[in-house]
Chains A and B, each alone.
Chain A
Amino acid sequence: MSGVQQFLSHFFITGPFEIGGDVSIGLVSIAILFILTRYKLWGWLWREWLTSVDHKKIGIMYLLAALLMLFRGGVDALMIRTQLAIPGNSFLQAEHYDQIFTTHGTIMILFMAMPFIFAMMNIVVPLQIGARDVAFPYLNAISFWLFFFGAMLLNISFVIGGSPDAGWVNYPPLAELRFSPGPGDNFYLLSIMISGIGSVATGINFLVTILKMRAPGMTLMRMPMFSWAILATCIDIIFAFPALTIALGLEFMDRMFGAHFFTVSGGGNPMMYVNLFWMWGHPEVYIVILPAFGIFSEIVPTFARKKLFGYTAMVTSLLLIAIISYFVWLHHFFTMGAGADVNTFFAIASMFVAIPTGVKVFNWLFTMYRGRIRTTIPMLWFLAFVPNFAIGGATGVMLAAAPADYQYHNSYFLVAHFHQVLIGGVVYGMLAGMYYWWPKMFGILLEEKWAKWGYWFFNIGFYVCFMPQYPLGLMGMTRRMYTYPAGMGWTTLNQISTVGAFIMGLGFIFIVWGIVTSILHPVKDTTGDPWDARTLEWSLPSPAPHYNFARIPQIEGRDAWWAMKQKGLTKLDDSTPIVPIHMPKSSGKPFIMGVLFFVAGFGFVFNWFILAALGMVGVVILLFSRSFEYDTDYYVPVDEVKHTEALYGRS
């Protein structure tokens, strides 16, 4: 009996925060179950969402998940800042603090930034290039559910078994069994490996989509810049993620089967992990920032009412950044004893990234120059991005100077830098994209009042939170300290930073409230082109019909929709006859596959190999059963297409 008790007390973590977590998870789950049952929504949920292979719906699910994870990671951040608000604080113990900053980093990079960019590319790319779906819609659904269940696996670690606590980079030997014996690190490894499979599949999927499924006439050099950014991103994903898979896979072998890749005994070499991790880790930074660049390259011309300045240079710089990103990984550990020659090479390579990035900034500025700038919400986020990213990029160049980095490394100077580029770059970019394409996703406009409050709070909060962290770094404060003594001179700056974090938290609440009020009091987007924009997705009604284009348009130049409008068109050419449209069928298998991966992952986490094997066998059976499935698609009849188009007032 006591054995059972002991097991349960290890399985379910008991502490004030965890019980709070348990209770809130329980309450939210009950509320969701109640609503679904009360309003008889189970069938709707299953048919319209869980089994959907429609890129637009998958994109919306990614978006929802990203916002939820932004909330979870944000709560982590507020707990971190609360703990650091006063010296010697006892709000959190070291064990807790370590878990919280680890999940904060992991969630924000892998389960917030990644799904956010996947949301944007899913929603926009097929519409923008004139395609009816992605190349592999079924695989696309699998990618989403692997991401989703991977994220769930990491999130339940908070209440079951204990969260990982070795930092989001999970360096061995700290993350090895000897120093981290619990299941926490297994959660980290399994959740990222599962969602990582989905990420690679997405990379392949969109690369093929962009290369092969563009509308006739849309050559690569006529492609909208966001699609170019996604093309570069996908190349980075395909060539970077395998290194992460191997780094985590080998650590998994160490922890599960007693291998000696990164252990400090038996001939292991922890430095190998560090190399493999950052061979993925640095391109990963560009995987999340390039889509943000793409989004800004769409927003700026639209709201400056002017052609994008220097299209060719924009494409060149995108590809240069994507390529240089593979030659800079060592700057994450200049202080790990590489020779002066190696450090110098990576230092200079890292500085070179600033050149194409700087070119992009100037091209955006000169897109606005002699334009007519409308300060809509998406444009406001761009205007906030520029100074923020300029400062973050500048401190990045400072960090790239290796000998100077010896003084910044692992200090709050570094923390401030990467938050500035990741929030000021990626989060601002994704929020801008969300506001910009919101009418296209849902057919309603977002209100502006709360959105503006959110914008100002988030922005001011950002500077209040992170600017004090640069001087803190120069005062010798290192990251991942759960406490610090009084008398270091760090107290006031930390307090300011904490206040800033809460201002950002308020900003987030305003942003969400703005979304909620817009949904409660919808203002319909009747035109399909509320911003008077330039690219093909705005030629469609909002939200786009499930087959996207009743007729695939013929493209004659850049900014295809703008060109058509210049010719006086108000909708796509509808003179050609409609033919039956070939579409993929919905399928529950991707969802079930996610569940099975979750089961297998959960089994591995607790070393319950029978459960893990059952999950994996299930996955394999599902793969083969899909292979034998031939009835996977159907045709939308002409009458139905005509009927749908008529509902939108088109023919």
Chain B
Amino acid sequence: MAVDAHHAGHAVDHSKPLELSTEEGELKILGFWFFLAQDMILFACLFATYIIMHNHTAGGPTSMQLFDVPGFVAETLILLTSSFTYGLATFEMRRNRLKGMITWMVITALLGMSFVGLEVNEFIHYATTGAMISRSGFLSAFFTLVGTHGAHVTLGIFWMISIMVQLYKKGLNPVTARKAFIVGLYWHFLDIVWVFIFSVVYLPGVMK
């Protein structure tokens, strides 16, 4: 196993951070960066679609009529904070403090859940006013873009919980550290995507 330091080719290099200390860790983290690159292109295509569709309201509600400023500002603040708290978890990991690390991860997951809750609430509210995905090109693009991000966040929460369980059971070692680090990359990436959603979808959507 990876913690086994006796054999060449699978040694632990103590000069590097724990998550990068084995070859396996290095490979998987690099691979995950490439995954994020392709995910970024995926979102870029969705953003391009949204920008084209923004005015294709087909007589249905426009973004001006729909978007609720306090709602999306709250979502934004919560998600930004959660990115920060995950940063603190990584900080604790670097100092090899498992308890603090798990605590911050729990807080991050809770913030993530409240973000998803708010978003679901927002979607339900729109739907009850008749703004469904099938109403217009604009709403199709809106729900698909923001919903894809929301689905990513939801998956991230479950993933984070499973890593917390593993950390709790196995403690900090090169494998669990690598897993926690990768979830962190994912989480920060989603945060960045949200910043774009905020500035491409919501802000222009409520400005004349």
Q: Is there direct touching of A and B in the complex, by C-beta distance under 8 Å?
A: yes
Q: List 15 A-B contacts (CB under 8 A).
A: A136-B28, A239-B41, A242-B39, A246-B42, A253-B144, A254-B140, A260-B56, A261-B137, A267-B56, A268-B137, A269-B52, A552-B9, A579-B9, A620-B158, A630-B175
Nearest neighbor of A136 in chain B, beta-carbon distance: B31
> Does any Cβ of B come within 8 Å of A624's Cβ?
yes
What separation, in Å, do the CA atoms of A250 and B147 have in the docked complex?
13
**Assembly CA distance A630 to B179 (angstroms):** 12
Residue of A at shortest CB range from B175?
A630
Contact bitstring A608-650, B, C-beta under 8 A = 1, else 0: 0000000000001000100110110101000000000000000
The chain A residue sitting closest to B34, CB to CB, is: A204
A33 to chain B, nearest CB (A): 38
Partner of A208, one of B1, B30, B143: B30
| A246–B34 CB distance below 8 A | no
| Known A239-B37, A245-B42; contact A268-B56, beta-carbon cutoff 8 A | yes
Is A269 within 8 A of B162, CB to CB? no
Given that A208-B30, A272-B52, A624-B158 are contacting pairs, would A267 and B138 also be in contact in the complex, using a CB cutoff of 8 Å? yes
B143 CB, nearest partner CB in chain A, Å: 8
Query: Are B46 and A246 closer than 8 Å at their CB atoms?
Result: yes
Contact count band on A: 35 or more
- Residue B170 is within 8 A (CB to CB) of chain A in the complex: yes
Q: Give A136 to B179 CA distance when docked, in angstroms.
A: 15
Chain B proximity mask over A386-416: 1 for CB below 8 Å, otherwise 0: 0000000000000000000000000000000
State the Cβ distance, A642 to closest chain B Cβ, in Å: 16
Alpha-carbon gap, A579 to B7, bound state (A): 7
- Do B41 and A212 touch across chains, with their CB atoms under 8 A apart? no
For A204, list chain B residues within 8 Å (CB): 31, 34-35, 38
The answer, yes or no, to whether B129 is at the interface (CB within 8 Å) is: no
Partner of A257, one of B31, B57, B134, B162: B134
Q: Mark B189-203, 1 if CB is under 8 A from A, else 0.
A: 000000000000000
- Which chain B residue shows the least CB distance to A245? B42
Which residues of chain A from 232 to 282 have a CB within 8 Å of any chain B CB? 238-239, 241-243, 245-247, 249-250, 253-254, 257-261, 265-269, 272, 276, 279
Knowing A250-B49, A579-B8, A582-B10 touch, does A633 contact B136 (C-beta < 8 A)?
no
| Least Cβ–Cβ distance between B135 and chain A, in angstroms | 7
A342 interfacial by beta-carbon distance below 8 Å: no
B133 in contact with A269 (CB, 8 Å): no
Do residues B45 and A205 form an inter-chain contact, with CB atoms below 8 A? no
In the bound assembly, the distance between CA atoms of A212 and B23 in angstroms comes to 9
Interface membership of B141, Cβ < 8 A: yes
| A135 adjacent to B27 (CB under 8 Å) | yes
Q: Could you say which residues of chain A place their CB within 8 Å of the CB of B42?
A: 242, 245-246
Interface membership of B53, Cβ < 8 A: yes
The proximity string for B residues 149-181 relative to A, scoring 1 for CB distances below 8 Å and 0 otherwise, is 000000000110011011000100001000100
CB of B31 within 8 A of CB of A208, answer yes
Interface string of B1-45 (1 = CB under 8 A from A): 100000111100000000000010011101100110111011011
- Residues of B near A253 (CB, < 8 A) are 133, 140, 144
In the complex, whether A211 has a CB less than 8 A from a CB of chain B is yes
Q: Is A20 an interface residue (CB 8 A)?
A: no
For B8, list chain A residues within 8 Å (CB). Answer: 579
**A267 adjacent to B137 (CB under 8 Å):** yes
- List, in ascending order, chain B residues with CB within 8 A of A242's CB: 38-39, 41-42, 44-45
CB distance from A146 to the nearest CB of B (A): 15
By the criterion CB–CB under 8 Å, are A238 and B133 in contact?
no
A304 on interface, CB distance cutoff 8 Å? no
Residues in B neighbouring A247, C-beta threshold 8 A: 45
Are the CB atoms of A238 and B38 closer together than 8 Å? yes
Supplied contacts A203-B34, A265-B58, A620-B158, 15 more A-B pairs, CB within 8 Å: A204-B34, A204-B38, A208-B27, A208-B31, A242-B38, A242-B45, A243-B45, A259-B144, A260-B58, A260-B137, A260-B140, A261-B53, A266-B134, A579-B8, A580-B7
